[in-house]
Amino acid sequence: MKKVVLASLLACAGIVWGLPALGQADASAGGAASAGGCALVGGQVQMPAAEAAVYNNAITQTDPKAKAAAIEAYLTQYPQTCVKDVTLEILMQTYMQASDPTKALDAADRLLQADPNNLRGLFFEAFLRKQNAEAVTDAAGKQAGLDAAASYAKKGLAATKPASMADAAFKQIQDTAFPIFYSIIGEDALNKKDGATAIDAYKKELAYVPIAQTEDPKQGQLPDTYQLALAYEFSTPPDYLNCAFYASRFVAYAPEPYKSQIAPTAKYCYHQYHGHDDDGYDAFAAAAQANLNPPDGLFASIKPAPTPADIIAGVLKDTPDLGVLAPDDREFILENGTPDQVQKVWDAIKGKSAQFPGVLVIASTPTQLQVAISTGAVQSKTADFTFNLTAPDPVPDLKPTATAAQKLAHTKAVAAAQKQADAIAAATAVGQTVTVSGTYDSFTPKPIMITMSDGEVVLPKAATKPAAKPAAAHKAAPAKK
From CA 69, how far away is CA 74, in angstroms rounded?
9
- What's at 353, amino acid-wise? S
Backbone φ, ψ for residue 480 (5° rounding): -75, 140
DSSP strand pairing (353-364 vs 44-47): unpaired
> Structurally, what CATH architecture does the domain formed by 353-395+406-459 represent?
Beta Barrel (2.40)
Whether the bond between 64 and the residue before it is cis, its omega within 30 degrees of 0, is no
Q: What is the pLDDT of residue 256?
A: 96
Rg (CA), the chain: 38
How would you class 213 by CB atoms within 10 Å of its CB: exposed for 0-12, middle for 13-18, buried for 19 or more? middle
Residue (of 371, 375, 366) closest to 386 by Cα position = 371
Q: What is the pLDDT of residue 397?
A: 85
pLDDT digits (tens, 9 = 90+) for 329-377: 999 999 999 999 999 999 999 999 999 999 999 999 999 999 999 988 9
From CA 365, how far away is CA 382, in angstroms rounded?
17
Whole-model pTM: value is 0.66
From CA 180, how far away is CA 220, in angstroms rounded?
8
Contacts (Cβ under 8 Å, ≥6 apart) of 336: 308, 309, 312
- What's at 121, amino acid-wise? G
The correct answer on CATH 1.25.40.10 for the domain covering 2-25+83-230 is yes
In order, the DSSP letters of 76-130 are: HH-TT-TTHHHHHHHHHHHHHHTT-HHHHHHHHHHHHHH-TT-HHHHHHHHHHHH
Domain ranges within the chain, ordered by starting residue: 2-25+83-230, 353-395+406-459
Q: What is the pLDDT of residue 8?
A: 37
- Asked whether this chain's domains 2-25+83-230 and 353-395+406-459 adopt the same fold, the reply is no
Phi-psi region of 31 (alpha: psi -120 to 50; beta: other; left: phi over 0): left
Is the C-alpha dihedral spanning 82, 84, 89, 93 positive or negative?
A: positive
Q: What is the pLDDT of residue 90?
A: 95
Q: What is the pLDDT of residue 43?
A: 58
- Which residue stretches of the chain have pLDDT < 50? 1-36, 463-464, 471-481
Residue (of 231, 271, 272) closest to 250 by Cα position = 231
From CA 368, how far away is CA 24, in angstroms rounded?
81
pLDDT digits (tens, 9 = 90+) for 109-118: 999 999 999 9
Element containing residue 173 per DSSP (H, E): helix 167-191
Q: What is the pLDDT of residue 39?
A: 64
Q: What is the pLDDT of residue 341?
A: 92
